[in-house]
């Protein structure tokens, strides 16, 4: 449902000349065109770095609010969005699949679109939305009933909408779409419901489906409405018919590596969590139990959806260590083109950009217990005693042996995106130090019902902190500095040419750190917990910083003992924009 506000600014905006269409070249150069932010990640490589240096280490202490915007009263849930900025307008998504267009000079709302969500949607981890994508004269975003919507940039009118998957079967969609060569690329959400992860590409102008690529072996892809190729080899790593409900949701969206013309998507946990039920607890002859391509990074040809390569971070996964974490192209100290990715399983991986081959892996959180390390081929060296027990071994047919595993199922790093600075060479990784009691239970698949087969309780590891922002050198795996936060970190990170790193905290602060040392240089209290993604841009010669504030997401819903620690935090829904005061 589109709502156009008839204020003077909105009327002028709606009647103004048509936008200069956002081109493929504009999107490709999103990082260097500092007057815009038209993609999630501030560039399709997801580096979340801006070369802007007007706000820097010396003057960031003077940063003040320029304006703030309320996203409405009764729908104040987790606000994990990243703002987009184009031609004087900010576009932000909100909880319950809403989109706002805001005048960037005044903070005045121009139009608002509210998706008509049906009864019975099944979002696993709050009713969040992580942002949109701009191309041509349209803005694209996904909705909780597993649809993709194209809106007119000027008016918010629906140009087209299409169904990604059936929400009644547990599918949803929360990630920001990715635009590549006139195609809108989307994943899907719903990994806790026995769905099948998939990547889809649509014509950005018409919404027509071009190709699909399931990410669980045995499923057929399509190209131009016809079957194309099978993903993997049927029953190679999945026994029987379990691949049909194998999980692997592609729920965080993807990266585009222009140098290799490759989409890189992560695939989430296999379903169910109970690895014994998938043949992964004890692999048998002829079946490795790896459950491909769940818990993997997958390189895909953007033209036809064919898989180029894959790298599985957690084969035989049994702790809900999704493999969806963003894959960020970078150049290492020796000039090699690499990918960096901080996995939910607690290891920071470096991969080769040509073929996804393993280069290195280093722990980035403490006390990892499920694996002793990573071998020379990139496979975990399992601590088999830390795999949750097989319920079939229980005398009463109930739950299997309980183990305490680190990290917790919410991960050493979850969805919250890291940043990479080409200037310092470092990755700035938002992480959490926590573990869990976890056990397996009997379960059977039922469409639209939770398909876990596990129970859990998250517990903090240390008394004085849970959240940890780490500056990691990808060449050595060394942590150069660390900022410790009492509550879990759950928001995105941004680095800038001014030598700064920005991120928000659940306690409500947007903070700026020295990118070299980690010294806290500035903070501002926004009134609610920050789980959004900061951005920066230049307008009329001034640099601005913006972030969404609004506590929510998975931690208060799934956090166990950790959730109790942060239950005093207020929900909210607002956008805050900051700048330096003008000198008289």
* Distance from C-alpha of 245 to C-alpha of 237, rounded to nearest angstrom: 14
Residue spans of beta strands (DSSP E) within 236-370: 254-257, 262-267, 296-300, 307-312, 328-331, 337-342, 347-352, 358-363
Contact 51/41 with Cβ under 8 angstroms? no
Cα separation, 11 vs 409, in Å, equals: 49
Is residue 99 within 8 Å of residue 72, measured between CB atoms?
no
SS3 24: helix
Residue among 30, 257, 290, 320 flagged as catalytic: 320
SS (H, E, C) 37-64: ECCCCCCCCCCCEECCCCCCCCCHHHCE
Contact predicate 374/311, CB 8 Å: no
Q: Spell 403-418 as b/e; 16+ CB within 10 A means b.
A: bebbbbbbbbbbbbbb
Half-sphere exposure of 254 (CA within 13 A, CB side): 31
564's enclosing H/E stretch is: helix 561-565
CA distance 263 to 219: 19
Beta strands 49-50 and 493-496 are parallel
Does residue 320 have an active-site annotation?
yes
Contacts 24+ apart (CB under 8 A), 554-559: 554/124, 554/125, 554/126, 554/410, 554/414, 554/490, 555/410, 555/488, 555/490, 555/506, 557/125, 557/126, 558/125, 558/409, 558/410, 558/458, 559/410, 559/458, 559/488
What letters, b where the CB count within 10 A reaches 16 and e where it falls short, cover 449-468? eebbbbbbbbbbbeeebbbb
Q: Three-state SS for 387?
A: coil
- CA angle, residues 276, 277, 281, in degrees to nearest 5: 20
How far apart (Å, rounded) are the C-alpha atoms in residues 214 and 249? 9
Question: Which H/E stretch holds residue 513?
Answer: strand 509-514
CB-based contact 201:183 (threshold 8 Å)? yes
Provide the strand spans (E) within 173-294. 178-180, 183-186, 198-203, 209-214, 220-223, 226-230, 254-257, 262-267
Q: Which of 82, 34, 191 is nearest to 492 (CA)?
A: 82
**Which residues are marked as active site?**
320
């Amino acid at each position: 449902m589109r709502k156009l506000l008839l204020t003077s600014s909105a009327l002028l905006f709606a009647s103004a000349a048509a936008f200069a269409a956002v081109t493929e070249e504009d999107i490709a150069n999103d990082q260097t065109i500092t007057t815009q932010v038209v993609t999630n990640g501030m560039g399709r490589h997801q580096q979340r770095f801006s070369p802007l240096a007007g706000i820097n280490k010396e003057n960031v202490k003077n940063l003040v609010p320029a304006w703030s915007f309320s996203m409405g009263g009764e729908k104040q849930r987790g606000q994990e969005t990243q703002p987009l900025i184009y031609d004087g307008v900010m576009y932000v998504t909100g909880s319950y699949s809403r989109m706002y267009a805001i005048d960037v000079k005044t903070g005045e709302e121009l139009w608002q679109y509210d998706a008509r969500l049906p009864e019975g949607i099944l979002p696993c981890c709050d009713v969040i939305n992580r942002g949109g994508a701009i191309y041509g004269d349209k803005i694209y975003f996904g909705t909780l009933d597993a649809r993709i919507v194209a809106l007119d940039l000027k008016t918010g009118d629906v140009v087209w909408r299409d169904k990604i998957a059936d929400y009644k079967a547990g599918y949803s969609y929360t990630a920001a779409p990715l635009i590549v060569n006139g195609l809108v690329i989307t994943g899907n959400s719903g990994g806790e419901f026995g769905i099948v992860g998939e990547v889809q590409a649509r014509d950005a102008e018409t919404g027509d489906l071009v190709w699909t690529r399931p990410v669980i072996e045995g499923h057929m892809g399509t190209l131009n409405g016809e079957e194309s190729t099978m993903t993997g080899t049927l029953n190679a790593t999945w026994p029987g018919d379990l691949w049909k409900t194998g999980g692997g949701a592609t729920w965080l969206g993807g990266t585009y590596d222009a140098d290799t013309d490759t989409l890189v998507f992560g695939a989430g946990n296999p379903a169910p969590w109970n690895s014994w039920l998938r043949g992964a607890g004890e692999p048998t002859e002829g079946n490795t139990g790896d459950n491909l391509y769940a818990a993997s990074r997958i390189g895909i040809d953007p033209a036809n959806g064919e898989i180029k390569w894959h790298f599985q971070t957690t084969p035989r996964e049994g702790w809900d260590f999704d493999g969806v974490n963003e894959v960020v192209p970078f150049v290492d100290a020796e000039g090699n083109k690499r990918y960096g990715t901080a996995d939910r399983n607690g290891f920071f991986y470096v991969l080769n950009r040509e073929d996804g081959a393993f280069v290195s892996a280093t722990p980035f959180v403490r006390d990892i217990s499920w694996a002793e390390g990573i071998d020379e081929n990139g496979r975990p060296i399992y601590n088999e005693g830390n795999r949750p027990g097989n319920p079939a071994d229980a005398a009463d047919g109930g739950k299997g042996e309980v183990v305490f595993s680190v990290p917790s199922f919410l991960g050493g790093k979850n969805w919250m995106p890291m940043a990479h600075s080409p200037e310092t060479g470092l990755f700035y990784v938002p992480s959490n130090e926590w573990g869990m009691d976890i056990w397996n239970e009997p379960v059977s698949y039922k469409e639209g019902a939770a398909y876990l087969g596990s129970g859990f309780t998250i517990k903090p590891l240390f008394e004085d902190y849970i959240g940890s922002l780490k500056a990691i050198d990808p060449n050595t795996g060394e942590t150069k500095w660390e900022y410790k936060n009492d509550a879990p970190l759950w928001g995105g990170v941004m680095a800038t040419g001014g030598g700064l790193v920005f991120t928000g905290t659940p306690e409500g602060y947007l903070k700026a750190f020295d990118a070299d040392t980690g010294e806290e240089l500035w903070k501002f209290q926004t009134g609610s917990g920050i789980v959004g993604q900061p951005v920066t841009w230049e307008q009329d010669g001034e640099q601005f910083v913006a972030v969404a504030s609004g506590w929510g997401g998975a931690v208060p819903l799934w956090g166990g003992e950790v959730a109790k620690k942060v239950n005093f935090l207020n929900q909210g829904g607002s956008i805050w924009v900051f700048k330096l005061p003008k000198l008289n």
